[in-house]
Structure formats: structure tokens, C-alpha cells
């Protein structure tokens, strides 16, 4: 409890010291001592009230003996920060370690993808893939292995996130897994020593078709993002790339300097990337490109409602300079910069310290004054699978380099709006049987397809061929029979026939994932069943013309 009290006091001290420090920077000389005195008095009053409230809780709360003081103090700090904005936050030691892990290009665990699938009313967590060179791969974990227990705790009915948190842990520590092996259904106990697992910013880069490259940058901006991007561009240019689709969908952001350097890869020397403005001039800065030889490949950038922060910096700079055409859905709308502040005892907080503006002067931060925390992060959405009409721009208008109108106050609006691949509730119900069928298929248990058994681990060196693992009529009929034979799925033959195209895509994704890993499995949807990627490829000529117009206008002004 003393440690937690110290954390509270330290938080108050941070605010007591930081806020006057900002004021000193650019305030007139008169009146400063009074303002400091008022701030100190108010802080002391709040601390007295907090101490008194805590004492009353300890003495009179009906379940006082069951109090979790960590939760009490933590909620107090979070409540204080939530009154500022949705992005300032407090993290206890475990959460702060995870935050720092997310910023590295690796994490500590066993290196496996896991997923929940249901059979009737029972939900279990399964291994769907391992990563190259990972502890899980070395321990022989395979696609379809069911996780029965973790360190002696049963996992049936647990969410995959709960199971993941149980499996992760300090580097060098051991996790004890009890598995039902997919190959022969036997129960086996496996001890795995946790180790560093690579977590690259760019898991994949390949040619969508001759001349058109695709770079998957969906995982966030960490220490190695720019280097990974340059390596991917070199590989694609060597394969004859003449235009590029850069995928920033679901990219949550990350390091500001990496966003600047990524934008710099494509922008000419002297072009503004962003302007940062802090409190009373503190942390004010402008960032320009210093690249005398930028990559000039015609570029389309994919975004969606989960494209946030650092990824919006890149998309906004590319749009404002007409360097890329933006395709997809309006981005999240986070225009605030957080400082990461370590606290004593391993805890920490993120504190909003500045706002950033795109080259045309847009503040893309969404308004958070009238809604709750949940509404802010979910955009007030209902069912996730429901398509939403693009919101009309409501913020101030600014102009791109060629004079196109763009707007602030609500994220980055795409130049070409198009929704994602949609999955309805019936299709979601089909995910479990497609996985179960594949689990049997790749282990030689589907009659007539015994030769489809995949022996050994994942082949990470294989490049997926266009016609590889296509689902045949015979395989589809076998799936239909598989579902009909198991009433727990409650899926009719008519439903299976109605959703044949969806089922075939899901089956191929699962088979490719079992054979070549999750990254290669994702290509199945990207190349064959992703309307946003298809749209991006279609508008690449417009992106080329837009970039050429911007360059010509730049030359004309010189």
C-alpha cells in the first residue's frame, strides 16, 4: 500500500511540476507566483480529500477487508487522466511492460498464433500457426493443436486473449502447456521456454500482379519500421514494381520519428511532413523531408477507421502533397502526441503533450468533448459488421498542393471511399466448421483426401502460387457432408451452398495457413477477396497522374 501511495503522490508531483514549467516558458512575469501558489494549494486540497476518502472507505466500506488497493489507486489515477483526454493513461507495472513491448520489434512469449473456435456450446483455443524460429515451432506445436491447460489452469471457455496473457511471460521463464494434438487427438504436456519473438512492422511484401507491389504495414511503427520499408521497396523494385499499394489499415500508430522517416522515403527535400505544437510553445516543431532522392513510385495508401496516430501522419502528409491517393474508410482521427513517462516501481503513464497538424494545416483530431470513452473509441458504432456511410467533413477546409479541398477535425478522409470485406453473422458461424474440417483435412482424416495430409512444420520459405490449394468441387462436397454429419454446428446444406464462395475462401486460407503460416494465409484474402485492395489497384493510374500534376506544379513555382 505504501508503494501505491507513493505512486499517487508521484503523479500529483508530476502535474505540480510539469504544469508550472509550461507556464514559465512563455508567460508574462507578472502574476506567476500567485498562479503557482494557487496550483500548490489546490493540489494539497485534492490530496487531503483523497486521503480522507480513502480512510472512510477503509473504515466503513462493507467489504473493506476485501479491498484491492492496486485497483483503487489505479482507478483514481486513470479517472484523473480521463478528465483530460482519451489518450492520457496510467499503466501499472505489468501493463507498462506490455506497452514497451509493443514498441519493440519483438515480444517475449512462445511465438504462436491462437484463435477461439466453438463446437456447440463449447469454445476452445487452438494453435493456428507458429512463427519461424519460434519456441513454439521448435517445440513441435502444429496447426490445430488444442490448448487444454496453461500451467495447470484449464482453458476451455477462455477467450484467446486470456489464453495469450497466460502464455506470455518473462524471457527465459517456462510455460507448461497441455495440448490435444491435432494429428492424433492424444493429450500431451509440453514445457516451452519463453524467448524473444520477432514482431516486424512489415510482415509481408509481394507483387499483387505484374508491376504492382503490395506492402503490409498494418502492425504499428516501432524502432525498425523505416529500415523494414526500405528493404521491402528494394525487393519489390527488383521484381519489376512500377506502382505500389501501401496498406496502413488497422495500423495503431507508434513512434513519431518513424512516421516522419517513412513519409520522408516518398517526399522530396524540403516538403513539410507535419507541424507539432505544444503548450505555450513548448515542444513546437516542424518536420520536413531531407531526402534528395525520394522513391517516386506511383502510390495508393489504404486506410480504415482503425488507422490512427503515426499512420495518419503518413497518410495526411501523402494526401496533402498529392503524393498518394488515399483509398478505404475515414481514419480514426488522433492528432495528439503523448509523452511516455516512467514512474517509480515500474509503472508509467502516457500524457498528451502536443498536437500535430498535417502539411496543409489540418488538425485531424476528432472531438472528444461530448461523448464517453467507449463512444470515442468505437466511433459510436453498433454491430461491427454493419457498413457505415462515410461521415461528411465538418472541420476547417484546407488545400492540398494541387488545390484539392481537405478537411480537419475528423481523421483523414479517403480520396476514394470503399468499405471492407464484410462478414455477416451466418458467415461467422461458418468459421468454426471450416477450421474443424481443415484440421481433419491436413491430418488425413477426411475420406477421399488422405493425401492432403501436411506432415511436419510450416514451410516458411514457400511463395504461394496463384492456383495452389484451390478448393475443388469434391472438397466442397466433402465439407458439406462434414457439416451435415455434425448437428452441433446447426448449419443446413442450403446455407452451405448459399455461402459457397465464402467457404471456399476460408478453407483455402486455413489450408495455406497450415502449410505456409499465417502471413502467407493472409494473402488468400488480400489477393482474391479484398474489395479495398482491388479498388486500390484500379485507381493506381489516378495516383500516378495526381503525383505528376503535383510535381509539375512544384517545378512551375521554382
For the annotated catalytic residues, the residue numbers are 309, 320, 334
Q: Which of 340, 339, 346 is nearest to 6 (CA)?
A: 346
Three-state SS string over 200-247 comes to: CCCCEEEEEECCEEEEECCCCECCCHHHHHHHHHHHHHHCCCCEEEEE
Cα dihedral 308, 312, 314, 318 sign: positive
- Name the residue among 527, 421, 522 with its Cα closest to residue 467: 527
C-alpha radius of gyration, the chain, whole number: 26
Give SS3 for 169: coil
Cα 120 to Cα 142, 367, 489: the distances in Å are: 24, 43, 6
As a whole number of angstroms, the distance between CA 294 and CA 270 comes to 11
CA distance 544 to 441: 45
Which helix (DSSP H) or strand (DSSP E) does residue 297 occupy?
A: none
What is the residue whose three cell numbers read 506445436?
141
Residue with cell 495430409: 453
In whole angstroms, give the CA distance from residue 94 to residue 333.
Answer: 28
- Report how far residue 529's alpha carbon sits from residue 501's, in angstroms, rounded to the nearest whole number: 10
C-alpha closest to that of 309 among 280, 279, 276: 276
Cell triple for 371? 461523448
Strand 324-328 to strand 299-303: parallel, antiparallel, or no bridges (unpaired)? parallel
Taking a C-beta distance cutoff of 8 angstroms, is the pair 444, 514 a contact? no
Task: Give helix 310-320 / helix 256-266 axis angle, nearest 10°.
Answer: 30
In the block, residue with C-alpha cell 507556464: 23
Question: 432: helix, coil or strand?
Answer: helix
The Cα–Cα gap between 125 and 159 comes to 7
What gap in Å lies between CA 201 and CA 222, rounded to an integer? Answer: 7
For residues 232 and 411, what is the distance between their CA atoms, to the nearest angstrom? 28
Distance (Å, rounded) from C-alpha 512 to C-alpha 468? 9
C-alpha angle 265-266-271 in degrees, rounded to nearest 5: 100
In 3D, which of 365, 394, 281 has the Cα closest to residue 87? Answer: 365
CA distance 73 to 92: 10
Packing angle of the helix pair 500-516, 425-441 (nearest 10 deg):
40
CA separation for the pair 535, 208 (Å, rounded): 13
Amino acid at each position: 500500500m505504501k508503494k501505491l501511495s507513493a505512486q499517487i503522490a508521484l503523479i500529483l508531483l508530476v502535474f505540480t511540476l510539469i504544469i508550472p514549467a509550461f507556464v514559465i516558458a512563455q508567460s508574462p512575469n507578472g502574476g506567476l507566483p500567485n498562479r503557482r501558489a494557487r496550483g500548490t494549494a489546490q493540489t494539497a486540497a485534492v490530496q487531503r480529500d483523497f486521503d480522507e476518502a480513502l480512510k472512510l472507505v477503509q473504515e466503513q466500506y462493507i467489504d473493506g477487508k476485501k479491498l484491492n488497493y492496486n485497483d483503487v489507486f489505479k482507478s483514481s489515477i486513470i479517472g484523473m487522466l480521463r478528465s483530460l483526454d482519451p489518450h492520457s493513461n496510467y499503466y501499472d507495472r505489468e501493463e507498462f511492460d506490455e506497452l514497451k513491448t509493443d514498441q519493440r520489434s519483438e515480444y517475449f512469449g512462445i511465438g504462436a498464433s491462437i484463435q477461439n473456435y466453438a463446437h456447440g456450446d463449447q469454445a476452445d483455443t487452438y494453435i493456428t500457426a507458429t512463427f519461424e524460429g519460434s519456441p513454439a515451432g521448435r517445440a513441435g506445436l502444429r496447426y490445430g493443436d488444442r490448448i487444454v491447460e496453461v500451467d495447470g489452469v484449464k482453458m476451455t471457455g477462455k477467450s484467446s486473449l486470456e489464453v495469450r496473457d497466460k502464455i506470455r511471460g518473462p524471457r527465459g521463464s517456462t510455460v507448461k502447456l497441455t495440448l490435444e494434438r491435432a494429428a492424433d487427438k492424444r493429450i500431451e504436456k509440453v514445457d516451452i521456454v519463453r524467448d524473444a519473438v520477432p514482431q516486424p512492422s512489415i510482415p509481408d511484401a509481394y507483387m499483387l500482379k505484374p508491376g504492382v507491389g503490395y506492402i503490409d504495414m498494418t502492425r504499428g511503427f516501432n524502432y525498425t519500421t523505416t529500415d523494414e520499408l526500405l528493404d521491402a521497396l528494394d525487393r519489390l523494385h527488383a521484381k519489376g514494381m512500377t506502382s505500389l499499394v501501401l496498406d496502413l489499415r488497422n495500423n495503431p500508430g507508434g513512434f513519431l520519428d518513424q512516421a516522419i522517416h517513412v513519409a520522408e522515403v516518398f517526399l522530396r527535400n524540403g516538403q513539410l511532413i507535419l507541424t507539432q505544437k505544444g503548450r505555450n510553445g513548448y515542444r513546437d516543431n516542424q518536420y520536413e523531408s531531407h531526402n534528395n532522392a525520394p522513391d517516386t513510385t506511383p502510390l495508393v495508401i489504404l486506410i480504415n477507421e482503425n488507422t490512427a496516430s503515426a499512420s495518419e501522419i503518413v497518410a495526411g502528409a501523402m494526401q496533402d502533397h498529392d503524393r498518394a491517393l488515399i483509398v478505404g474508410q475515414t481514419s480514426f482521427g488522433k492528432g495528439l502526441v503523448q509523452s511516455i513517462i516512467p514512474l517509480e516501481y515500474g509503472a508509467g503513464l502516457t500524457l498528451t503533450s502536443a498536437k500535430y497538424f498535417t502539411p496543409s494545416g489540418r488538425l485531424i483530431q476528432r472531438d472528444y468533448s461530448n461523448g464517453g470513452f467507449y463512444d470515442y473509441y468505437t466511433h459510436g458504432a453498433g454491430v461491427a459488421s454493419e457498413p457505415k456511410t462515410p461521415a461528411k467533413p465538418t472541420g476547417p477546409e484546407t488545400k492540398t498542393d494541387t488545390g484539392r479541398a481537405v478537411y480537419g477535425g475528423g481523421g483523414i478522409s479517403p480520396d476514394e471511399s470503399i468499405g471492407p470485406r464484410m462478414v455477416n453473422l451466418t458467415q461467422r458461424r461458418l468459421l468454426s466448421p471450416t477450421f474443424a474440417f481443415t484440421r481433419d483435412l491436413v491430418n488425413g482424416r477426411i475420406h477421399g483426401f488422405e493425401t492432403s495430409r501436411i506432415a511436419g512444420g510450416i514451410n516458411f520459405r514457400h511463395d504461394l502460387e496463384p492456383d495452389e490449394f484451390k478448393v475443388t468441387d469434391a472438397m466442397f462436397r466433402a465439407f458439406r457432408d462434414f457439416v451435415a454429419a455434425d448437428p452441433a454446428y446447426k448449419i443446413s446444406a442450403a446455407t452451405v451452398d448459399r455461402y459457397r464462395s465464402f467457404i471456399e475462401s476460408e478453407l483455402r486460407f486455413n489450408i495455406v495457413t497450415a502449410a505456409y503460416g499465417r502471413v502467407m494465409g493472409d494473402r488468400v484474402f488480400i489477393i482474391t477477396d479484398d474489395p479495398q485492395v482491388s479498388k486500390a489497384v484500379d485507381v493506381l493510374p489516378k495516383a500516378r497522374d495526381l503525383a505528376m500534376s503535383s510535381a509539375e506544379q512544384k517545378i512551375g513555382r521554382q
